[in-house]
Structure 1
């Protein structure tokens, strides 16, 4: 999506940035992992195919993608952005007849960052962005039945199980956005800041880490 091509979302632990060309080599290395291929139901791509995918995701009107960065590392001027990459978070507008329905997907690719609250924080940040910028009213998450960690996380975020597909071995969880959901999200991401990506990258050393 073009809408977030110059958007940076700053949270407590994580920073979300647009998926750019310079992120592709690290992303490509991640997706060589059989574990991540299984968790994301993805097929391995060549490096060129990964670059093509990055371009199409930037252009497509039904996909909104952010790369997750470790905020603490990213704020160090000497550290390159690619070295701070933790995973990615996506919104897919899967129903052309209902643009308010969105599938939400989060991947913490770096295993050392799992179980530290990154997944829950970036999911809340992405939901807030989806509601306010994309007009999302219902979120879905489709998760492999063996990925109990993700299923548990989404249930803690008040998602409810709506169906199980034994053929694809996945469960679909759903959350309708009402006023109480919106209020709770705003409270949970009260410290989230939306910034100009290019401008912030040029003076990120001025950020005060909390």
Structure 2
């Protein structure tokens, strides 16, 4: 008797009728799916940047305000004494406590610029008359070309945001005043800023030239 009860339960488990009803309800739910969102027409609709101002800042889309960037000059963090390190930490902490607007620090890898060294070696090769010295110069040039092709520098940039151009200028001066005590802020050319944006949104790409 116990065997027959289990047999009846097995029939109930494999009953096709509930499965057909569920399948029918599932088909009906497909028609209720939402339509896909429309794809943006161009990359300009995706990027938050609208235009570049006359002083080299960037106007953001909509009412998001303005943005500018400067390079943080990196420093050796291992050789300074403990007092110098604690002072740098204190200045950075005070800066972040007093700076109320949006800000971020971005680190990016850029190709090593060896063009000046390559030009100097090329001039020596042209003036050289010794075959032995020429072998040394050619070897040196190959080393420099390898570094430029396969090595990168880690650089750090400060991104500042403001609601107006005037406010952005004030924020820029404040950052230079406070951070300049431990890490000087270097201005960037317009070409370098465009390189930064291109690299930021195309991180797997390699820049052909630098600003």
Q: TM-score if structure 2 supplies the norm length? A: 0.27
Structure with more of its chain in helix, by fraction: 2
Q: Which has the larger radius of gyration?
A: 2
Structure with more of its chain in strand, by fraction: 1
Structure with higher RCO (Cα < 8 A, 6+ apart): 2
Q: TM-score if structure 1 supplies the norm length? A: 0.27
